[in-house]
């Protein structure tokens, strides 16, 4: 009899989703493209950091994978379907690119306070597992951005107020 895996509860999913958003923001702030799409189109042609949240109770985490350009992925699939996984330049290039980006993303996320596990699954060798995030002490880049956004909003409001005063007799 086949068992259906247990789903994570609402509170757990909320924590994982918040962690996934923080991971996406940290990677984007570092200048990496982050594929946030979930459509079939994005799955087919999207590239960059792909962040996902497991809905299973026993999975504990957020997963990050580097997706190479769709042309390279197509070349890899062709080589694999032809049995050329050991002598294909596309397979080699894709693997090296994914390994390099896995290392880079792990360093970026660790610097922002994430607990990152590399190589946790032999079947998915280039996937990072992010299990927690404790922001470093002191002001973060997000705090700086929030302060800048607040200052800009205040300046806009003041400009609107001054223009309104000039128009009233």
- Lowest-pLDDT choice from 14-18, 19-23, 62-66, 121-125: 121-125
Select from 147, 118, 116, 107 the least CA-distant residue to 134. Answer: 116
What CATH code is assigned to 10-136?
3.30.1360
pTM: 0.78
Q: What's the confidence (pLDDT) of residue 96?
A: 95
The confidence band for 1, taking pLDDT boundaries of 50, 70 and 90, is low
pLDDT of residue 42: 64
For 48, the token pair is 């960059």
Under 8 Å between Cβ of 33 and 47: yes
Q: How confident is the model at residue 39 (pLDDT cuts 50, 70, 90)?
A: low
pLDDT digits (tens, 9 = 90+) for 58-108: 777 899 999 999 899 999 999 999 999 889 999 999 999 999 999 999 999
pLDDT, position 40: 64
Return the domain boundaries, the chain. Answer: 10-136, 138-169
pLDDT band for position 165 (cuts 50, 70, 90): confident
Higher pLDDT, 166 or 117: 117
């Amino acid at each position: 009899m086949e068992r259906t895996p247990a789903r994570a509860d609402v509170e757990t999913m909320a924590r994982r989703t918040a962690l996934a958003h923080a991971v996406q923001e940290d990677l984007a702030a570092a200048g990496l493209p982050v594929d946030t799409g979930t459509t079939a189109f994005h799955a087919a042609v999207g590239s960059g950091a792909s962040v996902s949240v497991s809905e299973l109770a026993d999975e504990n985490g957020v997963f990050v994978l580097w997706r190479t350009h769709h042309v390279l992925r197509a070349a890899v699939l062709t080589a694999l379907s032809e049995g050329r996984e050991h002598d294909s330049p596309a397979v080699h290039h894709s693997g090296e690119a994914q390994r390099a980006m896995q290392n880079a993303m792990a360093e970026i996320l660790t610097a922002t306070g994430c607990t990152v596990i590399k190589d946790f699954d032999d079947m998915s060798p280039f996937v990072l597992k992010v299990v927690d995030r404790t922001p470093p002490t002191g002001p973060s880049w997000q705090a700086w951005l929030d302060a800048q956004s607040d200052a800009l909003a205040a300046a806009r409001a003041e400009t609107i107020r001054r223009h309104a005063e000039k128009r009233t007799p």
